[in-house]
A and B are shown apart, each in its own frame.
Chain A
């Protein structure tokens, strides 16, 4: 196991750096609000620590869990994901929060179903693609992925949780692209999704208000635009180098969810533009490492699995930063590894565990043709056929 860490030292240390930075900023962002609300300024930090310890267990488990076992378990994974998503709606188990059913509570422990389900989807689609990669050129070949993804999206949408739906949808698209779907089929599924937008707005009119608020947040500074304005204030007052660690002013209850979905705003306020770029760079390296693991994976399953996991990290990061910068309409999605939220941290750490597990196969495959060697060969004007 040490070998795995040693081999992926950069990825592992950057992930732990992100988690640590996350803890620091959770403390900074929530110490005041937690003291006001729970009389304990470490309330969120403690919860995050619990999530981290559990995440560590899950991570170690998956490092040693042969991912090929997923092939047999894929339908079980889908079933578990769907059951968790349905349980949310069962009174007594489901916990309603801010008008949405996103959590289930079992014995005092609450879990956000969609956090698990999105990885469930990745596992399923990776398994499916590894067996059926040749079918992806036909429309019907990609239907199972779209069906499972569609059902999961629908259930998450009903919670309602638009942001995670969006996230799963985008991950699905990436999986389909990586899986080799043809461009025209891509269009076939994009059009219905585009049609879905007005339906979603009709279902929950607050979404339109959010959309309008996103275009001009100052039109309703006290209502819909409030959170976005507060986020922009945080980022804006950060300037180039930030106001300094723990010196955020926006954390004094001005910016709601400053410790979870909007933690990046507090980072931007305290560390400034420089800090933001630095954090994004760390993520970019983590994602690059994920992509490399995918490319160097010993088989298609590993490649698809690593691609899916990496794309979840990337997509969530993009959506999160786009939201806090007011680049897309506000929607709540955690920043991977950093936002307060035990389930999210635990699941992402587990996912990193799977990534590390995949990377173990690389040695067996050193001589296999891969894109990097191919590129070098190309430079030598020598064309080699893929060794599949």
Chain B
């Protein structure tokens, strides 16, 4: 019987209540599982979303010269973003951004109101002063992230050596690239409590792991001398219009690179990033990465090798008829009529090819190559710079006699300017080939020493005695030859010019590399200077005219900077250079007649062309010139 009484109603009510209470218990068990059993697991997962990592950029290290002058430094700039979802006053925000940064208002407004993306980039690398304006406006939705911008106080100086960084402050070329791991520092982090949108919660705890700023790199470069070099090359470029011009100043007693420059160059604060080919060509540090045929400057090394090996002496007599025949092939001296009878030292002064053909043949392939290796040719020196060239040496086995003869006067061999100057340094400093280097010291932000480069002797090239002989001979070259353009009254400068004609596709073409390598002071060199002008287009191409005067500018600059007192009698020296000689009219004369006339007057000469009759002369007749000045004879 079914009886829906109040009593059964109440019973059912109680049953429902008990059912509900039992579900409560089930839910409490569920809560127990979540809040007690799985608590740690859930909390750990939850915690990962409560905080946000903000990378803090490390300040990139400073690059200084040897005296501590700043060459490259970083300062703060700001990247500006806008987070549209947080913007409360879009018109104000867009106005402020467009005015302060100088952007189009409509575009900015679009970004400010674009809520489909969480953040829009407004501007990278905004200057600190402008960024402060944005910060002080205190408008919601504008995000600034601090950044370090690279600044090069000297602009267009040491362009290829320093290199530059990407817009993200990563070293891209030069020392900036080579020393990247020291300069970059270690990024820090700010761990912030944030809401679901990554907005920092007010008054919340935050963990701050500070960034470690990059190390400071001190170079061997002396910015004063570097400026002298840059200026000299600038003048060279204006006057001689070469394709490129390169110069190195090295301390021969340590291998320190005191100055290094290549032209054309650009302002490091504004690299021509839009013109990639220009950027790539002008960022190349030609001194280190490029090779060339050194020409007559190489004769210094052949001389040193020959004297060291005892195959000649400075006073040995040589006869030059204007050529040598090697293996049936006629190797011409640049002076086609020949230098006649001369000593070994005269041969170096006259830059007589025949003498060096003799020396190379006397030394033989094995000895020549043995010394190439000692001088560091055919191998990298290990300079602290990326992309160092090792030079090009002919395979020893396939080098014929005639090739060897050419190598004697610096042809059929290619070396980098850095290799050449390092080898020259070794024959001047007593025979020690130093490893060249740019970086003298690396210190951390607290000025603790991280690394220091000590001069490293790579090879012993020649004896101290031979070296002394070479120093004397090289000084004689300046006073007695076409290298007179480097002569500075009162001071002892040595040096050797070089002019090499270029081969293109196996043929000699009328393109030249004009160079000069020299040292100051000649008797105990502190600075060795190499100047190279590639393909001068002003009409002249002799090293004596295209390179030497600019090396002299460098020497003078160094003397002036070091405030070195004259060691010689200035007045007596000046006489050597006095403009008391009138250039005679030589046009129409035979080359032999012209040369003997000039020699009688105490003038030096260079011959352009291969004819027998003088067609043109520079300077023109009746010009007053110094003793030992050069007259160029075009035949």
Contacts and interface: CB of A to CB of B under 8 A. Distances in A.
Interface of A: 32, 36, 39, 133-134, 136-137, 174, 177-178, 180, 182, 232-240, 249-250, 252-254, 268, 272-273, 276-277, 280, 284, 287-288, 291, 294-295, 300, 303, 307, 311, 314, 318, 321-322, 325-327, 368-371, 374, 386-388
Contacts of B196: 252-254
For chain B, give the interface size range.
35 or more
B135 interface: no
A234 B35 CA distance: 9
A238 B38 CA distance: 11
B12 A177 contact: yes
A233 B27 CA distance: 17
Given A39-B88, A180-B8, A371-B7, 17 more contacts: A177-B15, A232-B42, A234-B46, A235-B35, A236-B39, A237-B42, A238-B35, A239-B39, A240-B35, A240-B36, A249-B193, A254-B50, A277-B28, A287-B17, A322-B30, A370-B6, A370-B10
A145 B9 CA distance: 17
A36 B394 CA distance: 76
Interface stretch (B18-26, B55-63, B298-306): B18-26
B201 interface: yes
A182 B2 contact: yes
Contacts of B32: 273
B49 A239 contact: no
- Return the 6 tightest CB-CB contacts between A and B, nearest first: A236-B42, A233-B46, A371-B10, A252-B195, A386-B5, A253-B196
A249 B50 contact: yes
Nearest to B32: A273
Contacts, number: 150
Nearest to B27: A321
Contacts of B2: 137, 182
A381 B14 CA distance: 21
A272 B201 CA distance: 23
A236 B43 contact: yes
B35 A236 contact: yes
Contacts of A371: 7, 10-11, 13-14
Contacts of A253: 195-197
Interface in B172-208: 193-197, 201
Given A236-B38, A237-B39, A386-B7, A295 B46 contact: no
Contacts of A327: 26-27, 30
B198 to A, nearest CB: 10
B4 A180 contact: yes
Contacts of B28: 276-277, 280
B196 to A, nearest CB: 4
Given A133-B4, A239-B43, A370-B10, A254 B35 contact: no
A304 to B, nearest CB: 8
A325 B23 contact: no
A300 B12 CA distance: 14
A369 B7 contact: yes
Contact of B13 (A137, A240, A284, A307): A307
A134 B2 CA distance: 10
B20 A314 contact: yes
A291 B14 contact: yes
A335 to B, nearest CB: 13
A277 B28 CA distance: 7
B27 A325 contact: yes
B8 to A, nearest CB: 7
Given A235-B34, A272-B35, A303 B17 contact: no
Contacts of B35: 235-236, 238-240, 268, 272-273, 276
B13 A235 contact: no
A369 B4 CA distance: 15
A133 B50 CA distance: 57
A325 B30 contact: yes
